[in-house]
Every structure is written in structure tokens, then in C-alpha cells.
Structure 1
Amino acid sequence: MENIKDSIENIFDQHNQIKPFLKKNINVNETEDQLDIIIKLGFTFKNLEQNYKNMITECLNNIDKKINISLELDVVSHKTQGTTQSIKNVKNIIAVASGKGGVGKSTVACNLSIALHQLGARVGILDADIYGPSQPLMFGSNKKPESRDGKSMEPIISHGIQTMSIGYLIDTDTPVVWRGPMVTNTLQQLLNETNWDNLDYLIIDLPPGTGDTQLTLAQKVPVTGSVIVTTPQDVALIDAQKGIGMFDKVNIPNIGLVENMAVFECPNCGHHEHIFGEDGGKTLAAKNNILLLGSIPLNAMIQKKMDSGAPPLLDNENPSINEAFLSIAEKVSIKIAQMKENFKDKFPKIVIQKD
């Protein structure tokens, strides 16, 4: 049994540059003519499943028995910065950020959450842009959150995602004219007073910049890692670099970078034009030694879908765009699975009392 587990653990996924199978997560049951293998994986593997099963079968081709292989998703909580305490029913928090507004950060956050969900994970999204919430429109929902106890709120479920936004609580045309402390207090309330339901990943769609909201996130919210969104043009790359530097400074790992609006796709002739420059995201990722998670084209279909509350992943109108978002989500999940597990909340709290 141990030899079989050792062999499986040593399998190397060349494409993702990882050893996907941990010995402690491999369970082997052997009978006279059959081998049943059950493996728990800490990342979404829906698009990798058949390939992984083929790798295991090939690895064990010297065994003259029928081999049954079952892969199960088992996402665990991973290490977060400082002494921040975990959020109830949330295993991992992913901050999606950009240094500059208008680069499509909220679009990427929305589609990242849906892609992770389609790959099998339980996912939520918190719209942390208090001044300009976008997620209610993108998720096509304008419901008011319910409260069962008068103290907490139920997330709004849309397209299978648990969502929460200040946009659900105020009128669409009502401006939020608040000072910094009110904004940060609201963010903490939305995060901590929402009854999240057993989330593998909670996506936080941050406002642009490196201000109060980002500082509150770094100091008080247990963030597993960040995803930076940029366009290829220099004016966006300059601010994206500041975002990368900010997360480095507060000890939040940079999971990777998404290059949005990478190339314009003409809807009539299919011609591709790099109107915002070429390979800016690739260059920035290499400069900072972080992963380029993927590139999303500038396509009018994405804008129409997002404005209608039906993100492109909900149908297969443009398979290449769907594949790009799913690939990004897969890489994010794999990257998080490679991080150290979170043991902070597994130790008992020691309280010293005076008699």
C-alpha cells in the first residue's frame, strides 16, 4: 500500500509544474482482483481529472488488477497574514485588486468567482467598492438581503455564487458620501455580518488604489492571497506595480496577475489589434516574479453580457473567452493549494484566570 501511495505522490504535472497528489490524502483499498484509489485534492481539477487518472493508471501499469480511481475536491484553509482571525465558514479569501480604475477588475472578479464555481468549488463574492459597487449589476440581482435574527444578513445567491454588496442596501442612484472610517466600518460589517455558507473561496472585489479599504483589508481581514488586474498599457502598469508592492509590504502573497483588454478582437473580421500595447502584463509579472494567470481580450460581447447581468461563462457564445476565465480560476486554485495550511484556528485558546 505504501509503495503505491509513494508512486502516486511522485507523479509530476508538467503543465502546472506541481506534484498534485499528497500521500496523506491518498486512500488505497486492495482486494484480490481490484484496487480502489480515492484521492482528495485541495484545488479544482474538473478540467484535469481525466488527465490525472491517466497519469495514475500509467504509473501503476505494473499492477495486474482492475484499478478504480476517484478524485474528490477537498479545499482546506491556507495561511493568512499576521494574527488575523478566520471568518466563520470561509476557508480562503482572495483579494482582487488594481492600482487604477477602469481596467476591468470587477469583471475579472465576477467571472473568477463563477469560473471557480463551475469547476466545483463553493464560492462567494464581497463587493468592497463602497463608493461604486458593480457586482449587483454584473450578477443581475437587485434584491435586498434578508435578516433572520436582526443581527446578520443572508447573502444573495446569484448564478450559484453567494454575493454581498452595499449596492443591495442603497438605491442605485444614491451616492455614498462617506469619510474613510465609515467606509472601512461598512466593509467589516458586510464581511463579518454576512452568513456565508461553507465557502472554499471568498472573492473580495476591492476598489482601485491603495487607500483606507486596502489598509483595513491588510490589518483586519485574513487574506490568503491577491490577484492583480491590469491592462497592457504603461499608465495602468505603473499603478498595478504599486498594488503588487502594497501586498508585498503587508505580507499578503501575490497569487498572480491577469492582463485584461490584452488584444482587441474585431467582431466582423476577427482581426486582432493590440490597441493598449502588447505583453505589458507578461513583462510586469516577470519583473515581480509572479505568475501571469492569463490574458482576456477586449471584446464587446463581454461588456454586453456583464451589463445585462449574465456573465459570459453562463453560456458558450465565445468558448475561447470562457476557457481563458476557467484557466485563470484553475491556476488560482492550484496556486493557493501550494501555500501553507492555516493552523492558527486549530489550536485551543489559552485563558489565564485569577482565582
Structure 2
Amino acid sequence: MDENLLRASLPASIAARVRSLKSRDGTVTVVLDAAGMDPRERSALESEAKSALSAVEGVADVRVALMADRAPAAEPSGPVIVAVGSGKGGVGKSTLTTNLAVALARAGRRVGVVDADIYGPSQPTLLHTQGQRPKARDKQLIPLDSPYGVKVLSVGHLVDPGKAVAWRGPMAGGALVQMMEADWSGVDVLLLDLPPGTGDVQITMIQKHKPAGAVIVSTPQDLALIDARRAAELFAQAQVPVIGMVENMAGYACPHCGEISDPFGRGAVESEAEAEGLPFLGRIPLDLAIRQASDAGEPPAAGDGPQAEAFAAIATRLGAWLDSRGG
């Protein structure tokens, strides 16, 4: 699709704010400069851009990301903690956490990841730090450096590879506290990859290290959404704001004919976010390339292409939220 035509379809006031505009297979991704705008103006800008681009023939989906100037740096007070949660396993929460971290790092932020999925740690594989062990200084763990500019700690770094983590709740909670209280100096944003559900680990985290906000990820299936609502309710009860929802595994492009199918459905998470009055941060396709790259410890967000763009668009929205609070 002609990107000049797409740009021309935007009102002049919006076109002047375009930082990048890309089109692929009917999906348009546009990044807009929202510097100096308050939340209401940013919301209006996003809606107007989406409406104008959606009206262009051949456009099936529009993804709008807003960027703003950083707020003045505050005195160091520890990183802003953002939890990434779901109510159900297998919805891609850890993959999203990894790629959000990498995309934020590529945007110039100093990012760390705590893998709080005690019984199913996957960040060592996803961030290519398998087999490494963190050192300690003055009884404080020192996070590992991944190849992608992201610091990371995981239970997978503390136990032997392949060994079952047979810990009761207090032990799991203690491991999480130890990782959260590691030496995260130099990190501005700490993403917390939570286990699914609403159990001991989540409660311990909220009690001792309350996140500034939470991102909820779900597939479009009804069962996954039911559990995602429970996760959102847990954060609401703890007065942790939900930054927004992400729809994962939405749309599969056949590698042979290019036809798009939706084996898990499409749009249900966006509808749920709208019904609950929550921001919809974007969707990630069901893509074999994402699975293969993740298994190889090569996050798609570290490269180029449509997979990287999908994660970057969500990370940009998260970045705008961080900027809005000075984080």
C-alpha cells in the first residue's frame, strides 16, 4: 500500500506529527509525536489518526503509537516497577515481557526484568542467559546482563537447569523478594514477569514491592479472558492501576498463501478493554517466527520486520504511560 497515500489521508495537523508510518498486508502502523499534549489530547489524536487511516481502501487494521518527550529526571528512588500478568498460563506473557523490555531498551530506556514465574521460569531462555549465575555483593544479588541491553534475574539462574523447583509458598516468596531487592541501580524500568493466577507470589509482590502499574495479556479465547479479568481484579483491589491490555496470538498468516485466519478469535481482548474502560495497548499475531526466535533466545523486538513493529508499538504506548507519570 502506498505510504504517501496513507500520509495524505491524514489531516495536516496530524500528518505534521508523524514520526513513522508503515504498511504491511493491510495493517498500518503509525507513530505520532504527542509531545506537550495532555492525556485527553493524546486520546483524541490517536482516535482521529485511526479513523482517518481506517477509511483508506485496503486498510484492515490500524496501530497507533504515541511518543512524547521525557519528563525531567527525578532524584533516584529506584526503578518504576511494571507487572506483566495474566490469569492463565500459555498466553505468551513471558514472551511479551521480554520483547517489551528489549523494545524499551532500544528506545533508550534502562530496563530490567525479574522473572517471578517461580515454577516455570523462561527468561533465561528468552534473554539468552541460560547457565549463568548471578553474583552477590553485600548479600545483594547483582543482575545479569543479557545480550540485548536488558538486565535480568530469574529463579532459572538460581537452580540447576532442568531441575524442578519444589518450593512451598514462603520459599517462593522469599526468592522473589531477594530478586526484587537486588542491585537494580542504573535501571529506570523494572518489568515483573508474573506467574499466571492470583496466588502467593502475586500477593507477596503487591505487599512488599507494589508495582506502579500492570499490563494484562490474554489470548482472545473466552476462557483466557475470564482468567484475565481475575488478574485485573487483583490489581484493582490492590490499587495498582492497569496500564492496559494486550491481545496475543491474534491472527495467523498462512506462510504458503498469505491468507489470514484467526484460530483463537480476534478482537475479544480489545472489546474487553473497552468494556472495562481500560486502554487497549495492541495485539501480537500468532506467528511461527516469534516462537522460533524466542526458543533461540533471539527476541523479535531486537530485530526488524512486522514482528518487531508489533512489539515496538505496544512498548511505545507503555513508554508514553511512563512519561505521563515521570517514569
Instruction: Give the TM-score category using the shorter length.
Output: 0.7 to 0.9
Q: Return the alpha-carbon distance in structure 1 between the equivalents of residues 189 and 36 of structure 2.
A: 28
**SS at 1:94 equivalent:** strand
- How far 1:198 moved relative to its partner? 2.0
Matches within 5 A, 1:95-244: 95-142=83-130, 143-149=132-138, 151-158=139-146, 159-192=148-181, 194-244=182-232
**1:268: which partner in 2?**
256
What residue in structure 2 maps to residue 65 of structure 1? none
2:42 to 10, 16, 36: 16
Over 3 Å counting, the alpha-carbon distance change for 1:268 and 1:9 in structure 2 is: closer
Find the partner of 1:300 among 251, 267, 288.
Answer: 288
Tell me, in whole angstroms, the C-alpha distance in 2 between the residues paired with 1:323 and 1:234.
27
DSSP-derived class of the 1:199 partner: coil
SS at match of 2:166: coil
User: Given the alignment of the two structures, is residue 93 of structure 1 paired with residue 119 of structure 2, yes or no?
Assistant: no
Give the structure 1 partner of residue 320 of structure 2. 334
Q: Is the 8 A contact 1:96 1:206 kept in 2?
A: yes
When residues 75 and 138 of structure 1 are mapped into structure 2, their CA distance, relative to the original with a 3 A threshold, is: farther
Structure 2: runs of 5+ lacking an equivalent: 1-33, 46-64
Q: How many residue pairs are counted as aligned between the two chains?
A: 273
Task: For 2:246, give the aligned amino acid.
Answer: V
**Deviation of the 1:17 alpha carbon:** 2.8
Tell me, yes or no, if the aligned pair for 2:70 and 2:323 is still in contact at 8 Å.
no
Partners of 1:309 and 1:165 in 2: how far apart?
Answer: 15
In the aligned structure 2, how far is the partner of 1:312 from the partner of 1:10? 31
**What's the CA shift for 1:72?**
5.8
Match of residue 253 from structure 1: 241
In 1: Cα distance, 2:183 partner to 2:97 partner:
20
User: Using a 3 Å threshold, how does the CA distance of structure 1 residues 134 and 267 change in structure 2: closer, same or farther?
Assistant: same
CA separation of 1:48 and 1:263: change in aligned 2, threshold 3 A: closer
Question: SS at 1:17's partner residue?
Answer: helix
Alpha carbons of structure 1 residues 15 and 293: separation in structure 2 relative to 1, 3 Å? farther
Q: Which amino acid aligns with 1:222?
A: K
The verdict on how the C-alpha distance between 1:266 and 1:92 changes in structure 2, with shifts beyond 3 A counting, is same
The structural deviation recorded for 1:258 is 0.6
Question: Cα distance, 1:269 vs. partner?
Answer: 2.1
SS in 1 for 2:79: strand
Q: Do the aligned residues in 2 keep the contact of 1:225 with 1:336 (CA within 8 Å)?
A: no
How many Å apart are 1:196 and its aligned residue? 1.0
| Counterparts of 2:306 and 2:161, CA distance in 1 | 33
Distance (Å, rounded) in 1 between the aligned partners of 2:203 and 2:108: 32
1:219-253 CA-partner distances (Å, limit 9, x unpaired): 11131000000000101011001111111111000
Superposition CA RMSD, Å: 2.5
The letter for the 2-side match of 1:178 is W
- Structure 1 unmatched ranges of 5 or more: 1-7, 20-46, 53-70, 78-87, 343-355
Give 3-state SS (helix, strand or coil) of 2:190's partner: strand
Q: Is the 8 A contact 2:87 2:197 kept in 1?
A: yes
- 2-structure distance, mates of 1:89, 1:160: 21
CA displacement at 1:11 relative to structure 2: 5.4
Cα distance between partner residues in 1 of 2:36 and 2:160: 55
Work out the CA distance in 2 between the residues paired with 1:9 and 1:206. Answer: 32
Give the secondary structure class of the aligned counterpart of 1:294. strand
Matches within 5 A, 1:60-99: 74=72, 76=74, 90-99=78-87
Larger Rg: 1
- 8 Å CA contact 1:302–1:312 kept in 2: the answer is yes
TM-score normalised to the size of structure 2? 0.78
Amino acid at match of 2:172: V
| Whole-angstrom distance in 1 between the partners of 2:94 and 2:188 | 20
Q: Which runs of 4+ in 1 moved over 2 A?
A: 8-19, 71-77, 88-91, 336-339
Question: What amino acid is aligned across from residue 118 of structure 2 in structure 1?
Answer: I
Offset of 1:15 from its aligned partner?
A: 7.9
- Aligned residues with identical type, % of pairs: 40
Partner Cα separation in structure 1 for residue 297 and residue 252 of structure 2: 22
1:72/1:238 Cα in 2 relative to 1: closer, same or farther (>3 Å)?
closer
Letter in 1 for 2:308: N
